[in-house]
Amino acid sequence: MSNEAEFLPAERLSASQVRAQADEIGANPVLTAMLDTAPSIIALLNPQRQIVFCNDACVRAGGLSGKEDALGMRFGELLGCVHAYETPGGCGTSESCRYCGAAHAIVIAKKGSPHSGECLMHCEHEGLHTSTEYAVEVRPLPQLGAGWQSCSLTDISDEKRRQALEHTFFHDIMNRASAVEGVSEVLADTETSVRDRDEFIGMLSFSSRALVEEIRSQRTLLAAEKNELAVERADCNSRDLLVRAAAVCRPFGLAEDKHVAILPDAVSVRFSTDATLLGRVLINMLKNALEASKPGSVITATCSSPLPNRVRFSVHNETAMPDNVRAHVFQRSFSTRGPGRGLGTYSIKLLTEVYLGGHAWFESAAGLGTTFHTEFAV
């Protein structure tokens, strides 16, 4: 972006000015000891949102060698937020920051009252990508002067993950299991005709496959987040993988009055990958498009070779994302479908970039719809 600040002001104090502020605050050993015993990430921010003092948890979270390294930084810069350097002004100044829960808490607390919220932060450290949910609490510190604040971040990722998985098991999987139960009861009815019985057997097969697929998907995601997922590469065909993924999505109950069309230009590229994991990625791309589409919509899918040594999978739907969704779409637990959802797009990014060595991104604009892409080396 060309502008220095798209959201919050970019101005900062010099290193020597921040150093002088830090010396004054750090002279209080009681304050230092109290903050260091807290398990949460805590920092004192000057009116320019720069860290003037932080506790040990803050240093560990940022992978710093000491508290001195944090002086003058802003939270997103310390934690490695991928949006922190989108503009020259740094953390808080990009268009993406408009949708950051921590930035909003800081703005609201400047009015004089404490404010609590949640922040979804996508970070990068030494090539590793992580998505972390934080509970944020910002308190004004008028004792230090106008605009001074204390800001604490508590990692609630495990809680959010548990909520999402509970929703999956108690809602999505229960729905699948209920469908299996319902069809089984009809088949058990001795009055069911032979003609109807054949139809219900087909329904039972579809429902059973959908139930097993839902469980497998969650098992894969759990293993991926625990770094326990083994990648088993083999020779695969790109078009065959896409066709199989589309076939799996049919019994999900998402494609009713919707159609998945594989474009005629979908190419067959031979390359080495883990077919099971890439299949999970493609299924989630298709499911996401189906869920975002209105009845009667056509979702298109294709695979191409933009360069001789690359293969790209693309899934398009006609619905454009609003700005707040685009800013957080790959972050765990963020979803337009309500609390406890959002693992589908997150797993696309996780499996593609951490395990399969590829790249995942999307494009979305009014009038053009939304296209998710994943690309891999051949």
pLDDT, one tens digit per residue, over 67-121 is: 999 999 999 999 999 888 889 999 999 888 888 889 999 999 999 999 998 888 8
CA 128/CA 118 separation, integer angstroms: 23
Q: How many domains does the chain have?
A: 2
- The mean per-residue pLDDT over the stretch 22-34 comes to 78
CATH number for the domain spanning 111: value is: 3.30.450.20
pLDDT for residue 141: 93
Mark whether 81 and 175 lie in a shared domain: no
User: Stretch 266-290: mean pLDDT, rounded?
Assistant: 92
Within this chain, do residues 149 and 184 fall inside the same structural domain, yes or no?
A: no
Please identify, among 101, 121, 155, the residue that sits at the C-terminal boundary of a domain. Answer: 155
Considering the domain architecture, whether residues 168 and 109 belong to the same structural domain is answered as no
Cα separation, 200 vs 141, whole angstroms = 67
User: Which of 155, 187, 208 corresponds to the end of one domain?
Assistant: 155
pTM, two decimals, is: 0.63
For residues 322-343, give the mean pLDDT: 59
* Element holding 43 (H helix, E strand): strand 41-45
pLDDT digits (tens, 9 = 90+) for 236-260: 999 999 999 998 776 554 546 788 8
Does residue 151 or residue 216 have the better pLDDT?
A: 151
Structure tokens at 374: 């994943």
3 state SS of 8: coil
> What is the rounded average pLDDT for all residues in the chain?
84
Residue 139: C-alpha distances to residues 25, 59, 75, 116, 120 (Å): 17, 20, 15, 9, 20
Q: Residues 31, 138: one domain?
A: yes
More confident residue, 15 or 225: 15
Nearest to 251 by CA among 302, 216, 209, 200: 209
Residue spans of beta strands (DSSP E) within 254-351: 259-262, 270-273, 298-304, 310-317
Helices (H), the chain: 15-26, 29-36, 56-62, 75-79, 101-109, 157-167, 173-188, 194-225, 238-249, 275-292, 323-326, 343-349
More confident residue, 13 or 249: 13
CA 337 to chain centre: 14
Is the pLDDT score of 2 beyond 70? no
pLDDT category at 169 given cuts 50, 70, 90 is low
Assigned domain for 10 exists: no
Greater confidence (279 vs 160) lies with 279
Mean pLDDT of 34-55: 92
Residue 253 sits in the same domain as residue 136: no
Would you place residue 129 in the very low, low, confident or very high pLDDT band (cuts 50, 70, 90)?
A: low
Q: What is the pLDDT of residue 295?
A: 83
Examine residue 108 and state whether it is found in any structural domain, yes or no.
yes
Domain boundary residue, one of 119, 136, 155 = 155
Q: How far is CA 314 from CA 91, 212, 255, 303, 304, in A?
A: 32, 25, 18, 6, 8
The DSSP call for residue 66 is S
| Domain identity same for 258 and 166 | yes
Residue 342 has pLDDT above 60, yes or no: no
The token duo for 243 is 């066709």
For residues 179 and 117, state if they share a domain: no
